[in-house]
C-alpha cells in the first residue's frame, strides 16, 4: 500500500480545482448553472431557509454540477477517442447531456417546492401594505 503524503493530497485538490475551472471556462451551460447557483443561494439567504430546506437546495445544486462535470469529462474523452464524427459517439454525448437535463429538471422542481411557499408568503405580506 502506498504511503500517505500531504503533498500528493494537495496535488489531487489542485488538479480537481483545475478541472472545475476548465469546465466552467469551456462550457456555456456551466455559466448558466453558476448564475442559477448564485441566485438560489442569494434567494435562500433572503428567504431565511431552514436547515432541511438548505439541505435540499445544496443537494440539487451539487447534483447538477456533478452531472455537468461528468458530462464535460465524457465529451472531452469522446473527442479524443473519436475525433471524426461517429454516430455512437454522438449518441453517447447526447445521453450524457440528457443526464444533465434530468438533474437540472429535478433541481428546478426542488427549487419550486422549496421557494414557492416563501415567494407566495412574501407576495401576500407585500399586498397587505398596498
Tens of pLDDT, residue by residue over 15-43, are 999 999 999 999 999 999 999 999 999 99
**Cβ-Cβ contacts under 8 Å for 24 (sequence gap 6 or more):** 30, 31, 34
Question: At 29, which helix (H) or strand (E)?
Answer: helix 28-47
Cα–Cα distance between 110 and 112 in angstroms, integer? Answer: 5
pLDDT tens for 57-114 read 999 999 999 999 999 999 999 999 999 999 999 999 999 999 999 999 999 999 999 9
| Nearest to 39, CA basis, from 119, 126, 95 | 119
- What is the reported pLDDT for 49? 98
- DSSP label at residue 48: T
Model confidence at 130, in pLDDT bands (50, 70, 90)? Answer: low
Question: pTM above 0.85?
Answer: yes
Q: What are the structural domains of the chain? A: 51-130 (1.10.287.3610)
Amino acid at each position: 500500500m502506498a504511503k500517505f503524503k500531504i503533498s500528493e493530497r494537495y496535488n489531487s485538490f489542485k488538479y480537481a480545482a483545475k478541472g472545475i475551472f476548465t469546465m466552467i471556462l469551456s462550457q456555456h451551460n456551466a455559466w448558466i448553472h453558476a448564475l442559477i447557483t448564485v441566485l438560489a443561494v442569494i434567494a435562500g439567504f433572503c428567504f431565511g431557509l431552514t436547515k432541511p430546506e438548505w439541505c435540499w437546495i445544496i443537494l440539487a445544486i451539487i447534483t447538477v454540477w456533478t452531472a455537468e462535470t461528468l458530462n464535460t469529462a465524457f465529451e472531452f474523452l469522446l473527442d479524443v477517442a473519436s475525433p471524426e464524427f461517429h454516430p455512437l459517439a454522438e449518441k453517447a454525448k447526447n445521453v450524457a447531456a440528457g443526464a444533465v437535463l434530468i438533474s437540472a429538471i429535478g433541481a428546478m422542481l426542488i427549487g419550486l417546492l422549496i421557494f414557492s411557499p416563501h415567494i407566495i408568503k412574501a407576495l401576500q405580506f407585500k399586498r397587505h401594505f398596498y
